[in-house]
Structure 1
Amino acid sequence: MKYRVGVIGGGQLAWMMGAEARRLGMELWVQTPNASDPGVSNADQVVIGAIDDLEATKKLVENCNVVTFENEFVDLAALDTLVKKGARFFPSLAFLAPLLDKYDQRHCCQQLSIPVPDFALWRLGEPLPEGWQFPFVVKARRHGYDGKGTFIVNNIAELQALPETLANTPLLLESFVPFEQELAVMVARNRQGEIRIFPTVETQQIDQVCRWALAPAAVSQAVLNQVENIARTLAEKLNLVGIMGIELFLTPQGQVLVNEIAPRTHNSGHFSLDACQTSQFAMQLQAIADLPLGNTDMMTPAAVMVNLLGFEHSIGNYAHKRQMLSQIPHSHVHWYDKTSASPGRKLGHVTIFSETKRREKLRAIAQQVETIWYEGKSPT
């Protein structure tokens, strides 16, 4: 019988994982709320249920060798009741525990001597902690992604304009980092302690949403050493079994700070599907199945990954635009087959190989894709 992997969540990450599961000779079972979710089309079996539906997760546990996660919106206490009955979750609940809350993430990094921006707890309506000055960042401690729940506050007017819906939300204050570049890296580890680190990438974030990634990042070896040391330390000290994405700031002084940690596959690693010998999705499956980990080397000197974000409310599939993108030399278009588009929604991505690593050339490729895709429109 094939090795069965269950995944909680049925979005585009599960969709990409499903294709890699077939290549590895595995079955993928997906737990997701809707039969129209992207992950369904690449799954061998589907359990319809919300991601926090414990009965649905029980079905995964009963039918799969191991269960993993597409996102971090999980109830650890509920899942622990299944662990006590023998469920095997990778990454483990112990690994996830310090990473689901951004305040806990910060403390975890501090304890491991990993540099992070200054931070403090805060609630809407309270005075700012002593010494805090504009600009700073306000973040929801849980359930924020793609910029949701994150606000850059430059002055008192913007502070007063924060939405009242945050009043009952636990919040985190962070100092604003005047970064030179935003970086990201994927790291995987299996139960034998094997670690693989993917090439570090530069990302472009607009309104806290990733627009594109350049691989490899144009940074010094000293910076790469910092990034890889952070990735290795987190993987080893937290006993990762699986894969995680780490978003980072590079300061003008050459220091690398951790911005956020995602305990799963991540948008910044999508380039690996086409550009690396082993993709982040195959690596996740190898790690949780305790297989030898693949090679993360790139098969092209450089690559550009551009997210195809929604810029209108629509039910179209943008076939003409996708055809235009596919005609760019060395392009690889991935379309998630979502049933509708809305501003900012991730509909697909395109990866383009480049023979040059020059940052200016790679940025020009990203801009070429965005010119075709958006045609002067905005995804926000």
Structure 2
Amino acid sequence: MPANGTRRVSGQLLTPSTSASSASSGYSPPPRAMPVKVPIGLHTAQAIEFLGFSPKRAQALFDVFMEDTDDDWLDFIIQNILMRDADALDNSDDWVGAMQEMGIGTLLQEAIMDEEFESLRLTQSLKYWVADSIQTRWDSLNELNERVVQHLNLKPGTPHLRGGVDTDRQTFQRNLPGHVTLYRATTKSRLKDVVKKDGKVNLAIARSSPPGDFNSDFSALYFTREEEVVKQYAKFCRRRCPHANVVYLQMWVPEHHFQDVRTAKLEYGDLWRKLVFYSRRNDTYPEDVNKIAREKDIIIGPVSTPWTGHFQKMKTWKEVTERNVWRNGGKYVWMNEEVVTKLSELVRGKVNIYGTHERLTLIAEPWAL
């Protein structure tokens, strides 16, 4: 029976069921799905609490929203976070105190502050991780709602999972001759329409908003060569959003693509230090940095972390040191819309999406996400 605007449903409804063991996949399955308490309505105080807020703040936000129904529901909730003064950038800041001021619930606070993901957490601000968690939980809530409806109506509604454990794992690790294998971890809802039924690919959907390591005020497409980085992102996503349907995007990029367009490969050095410093601060590029950020199509280089202090707190790019390198050479960034379009055409038939629930499983019909 519904209680306090919520109901308990089987956690198995969140993700596609699989029958094979994960023992040979090399990936640890998430804990066995337990019954989940979910809100009956998507636009309720209970729904806001599901997104990660404390009960008190959830009710307060709902009351304010009901006074101004012209606002978009999710935008209203996320903007409530982004417009606040409270934030944290590095370990000198009070992350927990800022989350308490935001009204974030204890469970999400603990997930974001999990020591296992400290290096990854420090690559972005607290506001970023809170907003990302809210968006991911909202996507999960909508997906769960759809699954409940499908279950009650006895309708199939999930993309077909092919189901060959060893084969799928081998495909994931496979390197095509003459190609570079790249990966990305995200949630299923954010890859909707990336792969069409006719095989066409639209990677523009997967671009990331600024600021990033190499993009100060424009969207860019990020991938990595490092499987371990992808797995870490996926684990942190599940830690913050236990019911998230995390997937891996894999693509094989012909090597000639990097020669056919304007590609810059950066090592740790002054140019990388400047690029990261000005990009992360969302600041105006000096001439030498602008030349690479605005004129190059692809930048390959190390992933940054504000381990010595956040870039916003630095007075000059010279304060960026080798300790601000999280991963060497693992980041591939497509810098503009035109080159992303070229890439999308080039990797047609060379993009795979994998489900990660219980085991690594190739999704045979990615257009049905």
Question: Normalising to structure 2: TM-score of the pair?
Answer: 0.25
Q: Which has the higher contact order (CA 8 A, sep 6+)?
A: 2
More strand by share: 1
Q: What's the TM-score once normalised by structure 1's chain length?
A: 0.24
- Higher share of residues assigned helix: 2
